[in-house]
Amino acid sequence: MSANPEAKVYLMIRRKKITVVTDAKKSTSTLELKRMLEKMLKVPPDNQRLMYNEVILEDSDTLESVGITAAGSPLYRPTTLVLVLSQEDGDFEPPEISPFTPVDAPTVLPELTESPRSGSSQPTDNTQSRSPRAGSAR
């Protein structure tokens, strides 16, 4: 059984607080990725640098040629590329990726129950601990 040449590679391209998630073919070149980023970020390819495993990718490199494959880059675990941009002095900024903001635990909302008297919904707090009634013997 041969590998599908059109299999998608899933990528997460990160710079500081920016994260772009996209898919590409394993034959996609670095230059093609930079052109895609140019449309979104309005930064020309010459002012972009993509890195994979701390190695600067050349424009002619393909995803496959640098070891990025569909098997190693599934949708649920995309491969991370780092994007750095040139500065006003012509040098490229150092790579920087901000950590993802942790998502707080889901807020527990009070259960809404219908009040038999008014017909309106009233919040009830079901999170209180229950204690034995006063005066009950054990």
Secondary structure (DSSP) of 66-96:
GT--TTTS-TTSPEEEEEEEB-TTSPBPPP-
Tokens 């299999």 found at: 7
Q: What is the average pLDDT across 96-113?
A: 63
Task: Answer yes or no: CATH 3.10.20.90 is held by domain 8-85.
Answer: yes
Confidence of residue 57 (pLDDT cuts 50, 70, 90): very high
Q: What is the average pLDDT across 71-92?
A: 91
Q: What secondary structure letter does DSSP report for 115?
A: -
Element (H, E) at 33: helix 30-41
pLDDT value for 3? 58
Query: Distance between CA atoms of 111 and 45, rounded to whole angstroms?
Result: 53
**pTM higher than 0.85 for the full model?**
no
Domain ranges in the chain are 8-85
